[in-house]
Structure formats: structure tokens, C-alpha cells
């Protein structure tokens, strides 16, 4: 199996293209749209909107509604005096209940990817930074967690009281519904793997360290069982986390990780991001897996901290199947030791790529059979994003007063510049050469120690 085919399986279709443009739809076709208003929502406005279609969901916090309309109504809807923007609902992609009998993985085994961001060195009890994410919340907007998540993660590290699932969206359903318990019945495993990078995990009883093993993760399921979803659902999940930050979590730093995206930014999704940032939430997202075709959204939206994917020259050392945990990444960080993966999205004009983190051959829990624990290498910017979300959590533990603009600036200043180049590295099928230009690297390779050293 070629690397590209292998990666297309591993990436789990995390960043598929957006929905079909309205111009391609017939005038009588029913479509799902997200409508952003320029004023507060009133009963009179909702009644008036009902003349153009069916209102299926209302998000008062950002003055937005989700509707089902005929495609021919799009222009009339946009022309209404209280309508700021209209966008089609866009595609977004990305058992046993045994308990892990520990509260965290602070003393767990280090892995190559954690060594690459200078969180650990190889071996146990070997953290290299004085912070672990204590009293920071990280909301993982993804597929949720698998039924057997307690076999991987300590219950103390998962905020079950705030965990939630949102579903629906799109032209077929239209409405967005809340499903409180579905978050822990995922059949996809993408969200579980993403969470494992932040927290660490139990590998058949062996503790594996995480970037921020003492954070409290809030699972927010916004992608369905095949790993895809809609921007209206993403927006609802973002608003939910922002309202937590404005309410019961007002005294705690809150980070959102979104290892997902699509080809266009929905105006309601943008409004939700702006609302969350205004409420003090820091948002990190994957850059996308579209290579030269450009970044995905919301990662490409400038206020979001976007993350590209790197690999390491020490991968797949011949005769060493345990390279991912027993090989040392050289210090200080040398950009010549790393490459940009071929799938990692490049920055196009008008897009904003911030930093690079490990996103190739990252090991974590991924189940192919429900209830049966298993572990896989995964590759994608879905894997690089949680490294940075974890680093942000460490920064916020050090200084909870940081806002989104502060965090993004510090990360960009701390990153090790990575020039354009080529690198030949071992892969399962043999040596392979990767090449990249300056549009693939943002500010460069981020490490936790450098980011913390610049955090006031």
C-alpha cells in the first residue's frame, strides 16, 4: 500500500471539500443555509423569515438561524434588511467501560512527537517543562469518544458534566439537535486519538505521556460516525463552549481544538468563532490535508491558530519497530531534522498558517472494532493540531490572563523558522523524499519550552 493511500485511510476524511455551491443547485431544490443577522432576533423576524423557508434552529448568542429554503430564495433572503450574510451549510470532516486506575499520565512514557515539541524526553517520568495543564479546560470538537474511553483515559481528566453531542445540519435535516449521551458512543475513533495527544493514554496498561496530561478535556461531538459534519453544527459547538467560558468556567482558561475543516468559511461559523474569542476562548485548528490546494476552514481564518503537519528524520529506523518511543529527537530543535508532509495544506493568498507540529506517524488509540482496544499510527494535520492545543494549555496554566491574540503572537515568535527544502526519510515502503516551499511552514516548528519561555 502506497504512503498516500495509507494516509488517506488514516486521516479519516478529516478535511473534505465543502458543500455543492448554490449556483449548481436547481431553483426548486431544498438546501440548508445559515443566516447571520445584523440585529437581535425577534419573533417578528422569525415569522418574516418563515415566508422564505423553514427556520430549523436559532442561535440567539450570535444572532443566527439555520434554515431550509428553496435555492431560488437565496437572493431574496440575502436582500432582507436585517440579514448580514447567508451561507450554505458547509461540510466539515475530521462497549467495555473499564476504568484506567490512575488520575493522570504525567509520569508516563515519552514518545517521538512529544520529544519533538520538547515536552518529554524518551523514557518514563521525564517531562521537560514545569507545567502540565492543571486547571485548564480543553474542549475537543470532534467525533466524541469511543465507548471504551475509560480504558484509555482517567475519568478524572474527562469533564463528563459538560460533555455533549450536537447533530443534524445540512440540507437534509436542517435543524441542529443536542444529544447529551452520544458523545461517548463514537464509532469513528478520530476524537479519541486527538484527545490522546493532549492527555496521554494507557497503552494496554503502560502510561503514555501527553502534551498537557492534567488538563480537563470537554468532549464535544460535532462530527458524525463517519467523521464528517456541517458548519452549522460546528458553530453550535463553538457557541456552547463559549457559553461555558462565560458561565461555569469563567474562572478557568478554555481552549478549543478543532481537528476538522472544509473549503469555505461559513459566516455563522465565523460569527461563532468571533463570539468565542470575545469571551476569552483560544481556538486551535488543523490547517487541512489538501496539500497544494490550500488550507481548510476554520483553520485558515486569521483569529484561529492553525497548525501544519511535520514528520521527523528518525522515522521507521530499519530494524527498530519501537522507534516511536525509544529514539531521541536531538536538542536543540534543528529544522533540518524535520520535513513537511505532502498532505499538509499550503497557505494560499488570504489564508493564515501559523505554526508546524508533529502530524506524521503519531500513535494513539484508534478502534476498528467497537469495545476492543487497539492503537494505530495516524497521519494528518488532525494530529498536529492537538499538540499545539496542549502547548496553549501549558501557556495558559502559566498565565491565565492571555487572550487569543497574545497566544498567537507568542507561538509565532517562539517557533523555529523552517525554510523551504527537501528531506529523504525512511517510510514503511522504503526511503521517500518530501519537498516543500515557504508557504507550508508558517512561522515554523513550535516547541513547548520556547513558547513557555516567552509567556509572561
| 18 part of the active site | no
Phi-psi region of 125 (alpha: psi -120 to 50; beta: other; left: phi over 0): left
Annotated catalytic residue 8? no
Cα 210 from Cα 200, distance rounded (Å): 4
Exactly one of 52, 190, 193, 387 is catalytic; which is it?
190
The residues, ordered by sequence, that sit 6+ positions from 344 with a Cβ below 8 Å of its Cβ are 287, 288, 289, 291, 308, 309, 310, 356, 359, 381, 384, 436, 440
Single out the catalytic residue among 189, 232, 310, 382: 382
Please give the Cα distance from 214 to 194 (Å, whole number): 16
Grid cell digits, residue 316: 521507521
Rounded CA separation 275/243 (Å) = 9
Catalytic residue flag (residue 190):
yes
Catalytic pick among 89, 115, 132, 142: 142
Tell me how far CA of residue 328 lies from CA of 113, 162, 200, 314, in angstroms.
10, 38, 18, 9
Q: Is 391 helix (H, G, I), strand (E, B) or coil?
A: helix
Beta strand 421-427 pairing with 206-208: unpaired
Q: Which sequence positions are flagged as catalytic?
A: 142, 190, 382
Amino acid at each position: 500500500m502506497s504512503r498516500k493511500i495509507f494516509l488517506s485511510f488514516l486521516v479519516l476524511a478529516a478535511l473534505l471539500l465543502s458543500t455543492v455551491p448554490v449556483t449548481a443547485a436547481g431553483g426548486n431544490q431544498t438546501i440548508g443555509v445559515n443566516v447571520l443577522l445584523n440585529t437581535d432576533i425577534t419573533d417578528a423576524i422569525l415569522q418574516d423569515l418563515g415566508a422564505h423557508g423553514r427556520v430549523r434552529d436559532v442561535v440567539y448568542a450570535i444572532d443566527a438561524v439555520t434554515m431550509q429554503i428553496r435555492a431560488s430564495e437565496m437572493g431574496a433572503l440575502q436582500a432582507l434588511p436585517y440579514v448580514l450574510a447567508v451561507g450554505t451549510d458547509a461540510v466539515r470532516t475530521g462497549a467495555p467501560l473499564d476504568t484506567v486506575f490512575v488520575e493522570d499520565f504525567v509520569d508516563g512514557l515519552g514518545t517521538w512527537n512529544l520529544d519533538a515539541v520538547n515536552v518529554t524526553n524518551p523514557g518514563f517520568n521525564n517531562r521537560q517543562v514545569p507545567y502540565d495543564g492543571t486547571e485548564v479546560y480543553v474542549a475537543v470538537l470532534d467525533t466524541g469518544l469511543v465507548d471504551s474511553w475509560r480504558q484509555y483515559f482517567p475519568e478524572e481528566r474527562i469533564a463528563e458534566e459538560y460533555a455533549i453531542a450536537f447533530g443534524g445540519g445540512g440540507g437534509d435535516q436542517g435543524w441542529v439537535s443536542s444529544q447529551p449521551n452520544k458523545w461517548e458512543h463514537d464509532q469513528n475513533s478520530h476524537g479519541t486519538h486527538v484527545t490522546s495527544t493532549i492527555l496521554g493514554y494507557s497503552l494496554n496498561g503502560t502510561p503514555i505521556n501527553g502534551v498537557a496530561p492534567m488538563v480537563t478535556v470537554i468532549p464535544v461531538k460535532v462530527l458524525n460516525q463517519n467523521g464528517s459534519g456541517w458548519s452549522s453544527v460546528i458553530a453550535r459547538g463553538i457557541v456552547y463552549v463559549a457559553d461555558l467560558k462565560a458561565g461555569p468556567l469563567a474562572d478557568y482558561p478554555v481552549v478549543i481544538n478543532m481537528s476538522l475543516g472544509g473549503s469555505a468559511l461559513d459566516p455563522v461559523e465565523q460569527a461563532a468563532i468571533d463570539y468565542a474569542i470575545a469571551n476569552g476562548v483560544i481556538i486551535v485548528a488543523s490547517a487541512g490535508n489538501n496539500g497544494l490546494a490550500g488550507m481548510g476552514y476554520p483553520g485558515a481564518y486569521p483569529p484561529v491558530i492553525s497548525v501544519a503537519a511535520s514528520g521527523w528524520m528518525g522515522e521507521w529506523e530499519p530494524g527498530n519497530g519501537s522507534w516511536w518511543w525509544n529514539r531521541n529527537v536531538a536538542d536543540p530543535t534543528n529544522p533540518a531534522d524535520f520535513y513537511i508532509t505532502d498532505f499538509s495544506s499550503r497557505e494560499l493568498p488570504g489564508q493564515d498558517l501559523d505554526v508546524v507540529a508533529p502530524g506524521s506517524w503519531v500513535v494513539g488509540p484508534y478502534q476498528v472494532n467497537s469495545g476492543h482496544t487497539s492503537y494505530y499510527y495516524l497521519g494528518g494535520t488532525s494530529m498536529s493540531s492537538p499538540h499545539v492545543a496542549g502547548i496553549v494549555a501549558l501557556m495558559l496554566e502559566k498565565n491565565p490572563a492571555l487572550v487569543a491574540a497574545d497566544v498567537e503572537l507568542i507561538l509565532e515568535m517562539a517557533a523555529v523558522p523552517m525554510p523551504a527544502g527537501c528531506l529523504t526519510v525512511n517510510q514503511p515502503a522504503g526511503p521517500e523524499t518530501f519537498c516543500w516551499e515557504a508557504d507550508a511552514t508558517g512561522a515554523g516548528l513550535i516547541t513547548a519550552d520556547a513558547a513557555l519561555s516567552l509567556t509572561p
